[in-house]
A = this chain, B = another copy of it.
Amino acid sequence: MTITPADSAAVQSALAEIREALGADAVFTERADLDEYRDPFWVLGDSTNDVAAAVFPSTVEQIQTVVRIANTHGAPLWTVSQGRNYGYGGSSPRVPGSILLNLSKLNRVLEINTELGYAVVEPGVRWFDLVDALEEAGGGWWSSIPDLGWGSVIGNSLEYGRGHTSIGSHAENVVGMEVVLPNGELMRTGMGAMTDNRAFHTYPFGFGPMVDGLFFQSNMGIVTQIGWKLMKRPEKYASCWIHFDGDEIVVPVIDAMRDLMLDETINNYPFLGRGVAANKEGQPDLDAASEAWALRFALYGYEDIVEAKWKIVERVIGSIPGVTVGRTVYDGTDREGPQEGIHDDKVQAGIPGMELLDLYKVPFGPDTGHLDFSPVAPLIGTEVLKVIRLVRGLYEEFGEPYAAGCMLLPNSIIVVSVMFFDPKDEEKTRQIYANYDSMLTRVSAEGYGLYRSHIFKMDAVAQTFDFNDHAYLRFVETIKDAVDPKGILQPGKQGIWPKAMRG
C-alpha cells in the first residue's frame, strides 16, 4: 500500500491557526526539533515518514481547539502521549507530513483515591510519575507497570500494553474515560456520561453500550483522562521463578501454569523467557543458543495465603521432572524491598525502572533498533511450544538470533519476539522489515494473530483479520467514517483508513 503524504497546504493553514490559538511556543516546525519524533528504529536519516510539526497542547480545551482546526482544513493529526511505543514506530505517524499532537504537557495525576483504589491520570503521566504520586499518597497502593518506566500510562494501556502484577492487563484497568471526539466534542464514558456521577471510576459499565473499547488501538478519539485501577500493597510478596533446560519441558510447565492461574493460585501475569529472563544476576543474556528457560511469577497477599499458595506451587511445579522452582519473599511494608533488586522482582512489585533498556542495546550498541513480532496463542503446552518453534524457525530461516519472551495470561499467551538491527545499516534494516511480512503470512496461516504492530505493518496485519471478507475491519471503518467524516484523526492507524483514503 502506497501512502499519500498529507496535503501540505492544508497542514500549513492549520498550523497557522494552531499557532494563533495556542501560542507560538506550543508549535515546533524546525527540522532539529522534529528529529526526535522520527522512529529511531527505522533507517537512520530517512525523512520520508517525518511529521510536519509537533504541537504541544497544555489543556483539554486546547486539544479540542486543535481538533476543530484540523477538521476545518482537513489536516491529519497523529497523537502520542509520550511517544515511547518503540519497536512499533515511536512517535512516527502513519501518514507522512501529519501534525504530531504530543500530549506530554497534560501530565497531572488528577486523583488518587486511597479508599477505592484508583487513580485518575492525564495522557502525559508516565509510570514514574504515577508511582511517585502513589508514594506521596502514602504508599498503600501499587500500580502495575510495564518493563520501562518512561512511557505514558494512558498510551500503554490504549495499545493493550501489559504489566506483571495481578492488575497487569492494562487495558482492563481502565474504568471510565474522558475523550475528545474527532469533531472536537468532549465525552465521558460509563457512569461518567452523567455529570458528577459518583461511580465514574469504580463501576465498569454504564447505561447503554460500552464505547470505551473503541478508543483502544484506534483512531476514534483522543483520550484525555482515565480511571486506573490500583492494587493494594500486599503484606507479603513472593517473587518466584522456575528454571529448566530443554524445550520439551515447556509443555508440562505451561500446562501446570495454566492450571495454577485458572484456579487463582497464581494471579499475576507470568513471563517465560529463554536466555533473557533466566539470568539471576539481572544481567541481560542474549545467547540464542541457550536451552535454559526461565519463567517468573509472583504471589501476593497475607503471609498465610502466600505460604499456602507457595506450597501448592511447589507441589504442582516441583513434580515436573527437570524443573527447579524458587522464590524471594519480600515484606510489603518494606519500602526498600526490591527497590535495588533485580528487574524481575521490581516489575512484579510495580516499581518502574529503565534497566531493561540496557538489554536492548547489547546487540548493536546504544543505537540498536528492534522490530517486535508477537503472535497470540491459546495457553496449551504443546501449542505454545509449536508457536515458539514456528517463530524460531522463521528467525533461523532469515539467519537472525531468536530470544523468546512470552507473556502469560490465564488461558492465552503472547509469544513476543524481537528482531534486532542497526538502523545505520540501511540494507539490513530494510531486510528485517521485509522478513516481517513473510513471518506474518506464515504465522497467520496457522491461525495466530498479532498483538500489536509497527505502523508500517498495520495494513498487512489488519488484512490477516479476514473473517467474512474482513467484516470486522469494514464495521470499524463504518464507525470511523461516522465519527470522523473528514478523517483527520490518525488516519491509517491499525489499518483503519477514512473513506477518502481507502484503496
Contact = CB atoms under 8 A, between A and B. Distances in A.
Residue of A115, A199, A302 ringed by the most chain B CB atoms within 10 A: A199
A149 interface: no
Interface in A143-160: 160
A193 interface: yes
Contacts of A193: 449, 465-467, 470-473
A389 to B, nearest CB: 15
A115 B185 contact: no
A398 interface: no
A218 B214 CA distance: 15
Contacts of A433: none
Interface string A405-430: 00001111010000000000000000
Interface stretch (A126-134, A338-346, A378-386): A378-386
A208 B473 contact: yes
Nearest to A116: B411
A373 B451 CA distance: 41
Contacts of A187: 467-468, 471-472, 475
B191 A376 contact: yes
Interface size class for chain A? 35 or more
B192 A467 contact: yes
A466 B194 CA distance: 5
Contact of A203 (B197, B409, B472, B496): B409
A189 interface: yes
Contacts of A471: 181, 185-188, 193
A17 interface: no
Contact of A209 (B169, B209, B213, B446): B213
B202 A209 contact: no
A211 to B, nearest CB: 6
Interface stretch (A259-267, A318-326, A358-366): A259-267
A462 interface: yes
Contacts of A468: 185-188
Given A204-B172, A216-B209, A377 B263 contact: no
Contacts of A264: 166, 267, 300-301
A401 interface: no
Contacts of A410: 117
Given A199-B377, A301-B263, A376-B191, A214 B217 contact: no
Interface in A236-289: 258-259, 262-265, 267
Contacts of A476: 208-209, 211
Given A203-B376, A211-B479, 14 more contacts: A116-B258, A189-B472, A193-B470, A194-B444, A197-B447, A199-B378, A202-B378, A207-B449, A209-B216, A209-B217, A263-B302, A265-B301, A478-B482, A479-B479
7 contacts: A193-B467, A193-B473, A208-B217, A209-B214, A212-B213, A232-B263, A305-B308
Interface of A: 115-118, 160, 166, 169, 171-172, 181, 185-189, 191-199, 202-218, 220, 232, 234, 258-259, 262-265, 267, 300-302, 304-305, 307-309, 311-312, 376-380, 383, 409-412, 414, 444, 446-453, 461-462, 464-468, 470-476, 478-479, 481-483, 494-496
